[in-house]
Amino acid sequence: TFLDVRNSDQHFGFAKSGEVKRFGHIPGLLTWPADYMTNAGINRAPAVIKSKEDLTTMAKGVGLPTDKNTRIIVYCNSSQFAGMGFFVLHERLGYKNVSVFDGSMIEYAANENLPIAVYSWGFITK
């Protein structure tokens, strides 16, 4: 399972980070913006990570599997916010098989042979 923790504009393909070559996201994944994992929301700082109860509710709402052994690969644009996703999943929610896609969207979008989903939440590829 891939988890995109970028903001919804970047996930949807409406906006992108300057270093990322193409708009959109890796097809067939889940999205849970790192901004919503804290009480700061889109303001980002200062921030406190939400309660385990709130995080558990959000994880269910975004479709994360309940099996804590499921492999989950977290990514963003450059791995900066993926670290927040890793911490929340592994340390707060108890997922055991979580990793960060170190190259994230900068690496993925640079490869023109890989599909990108745009203007969708994961069902249309371009």
Cα gap 35→43, rounded to integer Å: 8
Average pLDDT (30-55) is 85
Calculate the average pLDDT of the chain: 90
Decide if 18 contacts 25 (C-beta within 8 A).
no
43: pLDDT strictly greater than 90: no
48-72 mean pLDDT: 96
Distance CA 118, CA 126 (A): 7
Q: Which two tokens stand for residue 33?
A: 């913006």
Query: With helix as H, strand as E and coil as C, how does 84-121 read?
Result: HHHHHHHHHCCCCEEEECCCHHHHHHHCCCCCCECCCC
- pLDDT at res. 66: 95
Q: Domains, the chain, ranges and CATH?
A: 2-110 (3.40.250.10)
pLDDT at 28: 87
pTM equals: 0.88
